Amino acid sequence: MNVDVCVIGLGYIGLPTAAMFARHGYSVLGVDVKEEVLEKILADGGPAEEPALASLVKGALSDGSLCLGGKPEPADVFILCLPTPLREDKKADLSFVENGMESILPFIKKGDMVILESTVPPGTTEGLIAEMVRGKGFDPCGDLDLVFAPERVMPSNILEELENLDRVMGGLTPGAAERARDLYAAFVKGRIVLTDATTAEFVKLVENSYRDVNIAFANELAVLAMGFGIDIWEAVTIANRHPRVNILYPGPGVGGHCIAVDPYFIIEKSGGSARLMAEARRVNDSMPENVVAEAERLLGDLKGRKVAVLGIAYKGNVGDFRQSPSLSIIERLEERGAVWKAHDPHVTSSPVPLVSIEEALEGVDLIIVATDHNVFLELDPDELGEKVAARKILDTRHILKRNEWESAGWEFQYLGDGKRA
């Protein structure tokens, strides 16, 4: 097979990117070092929560425009879509990107383009990536086109956003950025903005940090609202009617592998200057503790009390539990000696034991709604009331209708509603 584009890493960005290029006239090789990832793609096409992606992948596989393999092959363009997790010391773990680069170096030839999509600290493309190709005898600005082209898609709406969002292409040279723009224009309908690689890396991190800081502001307001005796949801909704105010919403904390992680990639390189971002991280990380404090206010001492945690995923309608606040809530309930049970219909393999909704609610003293899954909107307060020991519920996501629960005799509390506290 003559490969135009070789995509390294077939996770939630690599797979849709590979499939999109394949469906738009390119011959694509998708590479993943994990055999089980390749097997799963061959069997299902893609993740269950992205049905459109699964059918796109299946189509590309069946007409041969997309092939899968465990190793790269020579190609004109290499795209790295590898994870960059946060290490224990809150710094970026670039080992997957380094390994990915190592794997393509033997296949790179003069004139090829290498594109990094993984989220990385500012300076990584100009530093680490350029250094690695230099080590192979290439001039990173003359022999090759090196580009940082961050993904921006929202898990659960990937294909739509991959096509329609604006993109930024940061080249080591202006020519490299232009070449990447011409490539992605095959399927990107949004505007493609060109800049240098370090600016593009910074922009990616700033987008998620902006959201983290905004959510931290909302979370701080929620804590203040409890003291002032006001309902933060009412207050934010009213404030947001101002044309230049757009506060996000409080919750049990910020999870996921993007927003809860990316600010650290700036913080680690800031020499202590990224004070606001660091504080926002602390505020958001303190929210699970506030949830448990609220549970204590509703129940008193938590020792031996039965608590149901509904939702392990970091946000609604996805099965991803990375950095999920629910896990911190559970850890804290455990520390306080509470007897907890957890339920999440979207999570298939979980780091904590999960049970059915019936089992989770049986004889509990308190329900904590920790994730905004749509299925929780269908919970029937009358029916649930029969199962629990005490009709008490703490909705940390503001998704349930208080009236319905109160008229069924429940003590109902939204996180951040100081009018009821």
Instruction: Please give the positions annotated as active site.
Output: 204, 258
Take residue 301 and report the two structure tokens written for it.
């001492």
Q: Whole-number minimum distance, CB 407 to ligand SAJ, in Å?
A: 28
Is the distance from CB of 327 to CB of 254 less than 8 angstroms? no
Binding-site ranges for ligand SAJ (CB under 6 A): 151-155, 207-208, 211, 215, 248-249, 251, 254-256, 258-259, 314-315
Q: Which residues lie across from 147 on neighbouring strands?
A: 115, 171
Q: Whole-number minimum distance, CB 351 to ligand SAJ, in Å?
A: 16
Secondary structure of the chain: what % helix, strand, coil (to 5)? 40, 15, 40
Q: Whole-number minimum distance, CB 247 to ligand SAJ, in Å?
A: 8
Task: Give the strand pairing for 3-8 and 28-31.
Answer: parallel
DSSP secondary structure, 55-106, as one string: HHHHHHHHTTSEEEESS---EEEEEE----PBPTTSSB--HHHHHHHHHHGG
Q: Whole-number minimum distance, CB 315 to ligand SAJ, in Å?
A: 4
The smaller minimum CB distance to ligand SAJ, of residues 138 and 187, is found at: 187
The smaller minimum CB distance to ligand SAJ, of residues 40 and 211, is found at: 211
Q: Whole-number minimum distance, CB 349 to ligand SAJ, in Å?
A: 19
Name the nearest CA neighbour of 111 among 196, 167, 179, 12: 179
Q: Whole-number minimum distance, CB 66 to ligand SAJ, in Å?
A: 22
The smaller minimum CB distance to ligand SAJ, of residues 103 and 119, is found at: 119
Name the phi and psi angles at 4, rounded to 5.
-85, -50
Residue nearest to ligand SAJ (CB): 258
The smaller minimum CB distance to ligand SAJ, of residues 140 and 256, is found at: 256
Is the distance from CB of 13 to CB of 50 less than 8 angstroms? no
Q: How many CB atoms lie within 10 A of CB 173?
A: 17
Name the nearest CA neighbour of 165 among 200, 192, 190: 190
Name the nearest CA neighbour of 325 among 380, 401, 251: 251
The smaller minimum CB distance to ligand SAJ, of residues 152 and 402, is found at: 152
Q: Which residues lie across from 28 on neighbouring strands?
A: 5, 66
The smaller minimum CB distance to ligand SAJ, of residues 153 and 369, is found at: 153
DSSP 417: B
Take residue 299 and report the two structure tokens written for it.
């129940």
- Round to whole Å and give the CA distance between 238 and 236: 5
The smaller minimum CB distance to ligand SAJ, of residues 95 and 246, is found at: 246
Take residue 27 and report the two structure tokens written for it.
């011959």
Q: Whole-number minimum distance, CB 402 to ligand SAJ, in Å?
A: 19
